Structure 1
């Protein structure tokens, strides 16, 4: 069997709020959840499991590859919801997107403070 990515746990201050944020942003349906996890499933089957750890949350970086149409809709939602965003990971180009790697990209933070990146073309 080839190696594929199956799931990850994303630390959240409020797991339900974080799952709602990602579902709305990426237009995903609810997924079955269990135990301390609120789950969403990406179109390739990867499961994102949101949980509330008993420790301070350290910022992580998560990048999502989307098509141009979903990028447009997600970016419009970020703007409509007043979510601060940048064209660069150093947060020096506010309220912009970038055209790196032959596509478009944007950086912002999720409800738990994780650095999220949406891109329309893979880096490689």
Structure 2
């Protein structure tokens, strides 16, 4: 059987706030939560679990593949809210998107400081 990505725990300073942010941005579905986890479900049944870890955590990088219409909605949400964003991971092109890999992409920080990348075309 080929491996399939099932779930990840995203370290959060405020799990409920993080889940709300991701639910709006990714148009994710609510999922049953348990224990320390606030859960959402995205495409192909992937579960995003938000929890506060017992120690400080370094920022991580999470990239999400969106269709063009979803990217337009997400980018409108980013700009309408005044959220800082960049066309590149080095943050040298603020307020822009990129047109890499035959699509579009944007980078931003989530409420807990993780790097998010939204793209419309996969790298491979």
Distance 2:26 2:64 in 1: 9
Partner of 1:30: 30
Q: TM-score, with normalisation over the residues of structure 2?
A: 0.98
Partner of 2:83: 83
Equivalences, count: 124
Aligned residues of 2:10 and 2:50 also touching (Cα < 8 A): yes
Aligned residues of 2:62 and 2:114 also touching (Cα < 8 A): yes
Structure 2 unaligned runs (5+)? none
Aligned CA-pair RMSD: 0.7
Partner of 2:4: 4
- Specify the SS of the correspondent of 1:44: helix
- Specify the SS of the correspondent of 2:108: strand
1:40-91 per-residue CA deviation (whole Å, 9 max, x = no partner) reads 0002100010000121121000000000000000000001111100000000
Structure 1 unaligned runs (5+)? none
Deviation of the 1:29 alpha carbon: 2.5
- Specify the SS of the correspondent of 1:64: strand
